[in-house]
Chains A and B, each alone.
Chain A
């Protein structure tokens, strides 16, 4: 688990740049991942540039329907959008 390497802003940035998620401003950022017009995942990211504790990191992974190691990959960059699409369509 690479929660110590990334902060909440990193997660938000990755979601925006890699998945094209548009976050809605509120108490926390919430955004939907849409594929072929359908909403597949909804992720919540706390505001600011904060450390992500392990439990919260796991919750974010769960929201994206990813395992923790897949979420690590996603943040590290090897997990491409195409591979993400493949993962969520197998659900």
Chain B
């Protein structure tokens, strides 16, 4: 059986998925598929956090997913981008991811016309420009 849920348990949703897209694994874990992100790995992989693939940004198209990691952090949910050093917090997993998307867009806008960047940030800029259309 395939389990599909949104980030909040009270708003479990069903989405049509193709066979093989998502399934319970051998030890009964499952990952999530929503309209905005997919949880790529079972929760136990990262200390009960979840690796998430962000597959859309408001008003932009992504040529490939942006990997993020979300977990509960004492008082709130913490969503961190894996490739780029940004994070966002929220009262729910969904809110933290939504805030992370805003951070990504804001960062993209800040970087796109700026070349006065360290080598590390030039790489981040190149990465973001390569996938955000």
Chain A contacts for B119, CB-based, 8 A = 91
Chain A contacts for B107, CB-based, 8 A = 42
* Chain B CB within 10 A, most for which of A26, A28, A34, A39: A39
Task: From known contacts A38-B118, A39-B117, A39-B118, infer whether A56 and B89 are also in contact, taking CB-CB under 8 Å.
Answer: yes
From A13-21, A46-54, A67-75, give the one contacting chain B: A46-54
Complex Cα distance, B106 from A71, in Å, reads 25
Q: State whether A27 touches B102 (Cβ < 8 A).
A: yes
Main secondary structure of the interface of A (DSSP, over half): mixed
| Number of A interface residues in the complex (CB < 8 A) | 23
A62 within 8 A of B: yes
A7 within 8 A of B: no
Complex Cα distance, B14 from A10, in Å, reads 44
Interface size for chain B: under 10, 10 to 19, 20 to 34, or 35 or more residues? 20 to 34
Q: State whether B118 touches A59 (Cβ < 8 A).
A: no
Would you give 25 A-B contacts (Cβ < 8 Å), ordered by A? A34-B116, A38-B116, A39-B114, A39-B117, A39-B118, A39-B121, A42-B85, A42-B86, A42-B107, A44-B86, A44-B103, A46-B89, A53-B74, A53-B76, A54-B74, A55-B73, A56-B73, A56-B78, A56-B87, A62-B85, A63-B85, A65-B85, A65-B120, A91-B118, A91-B119
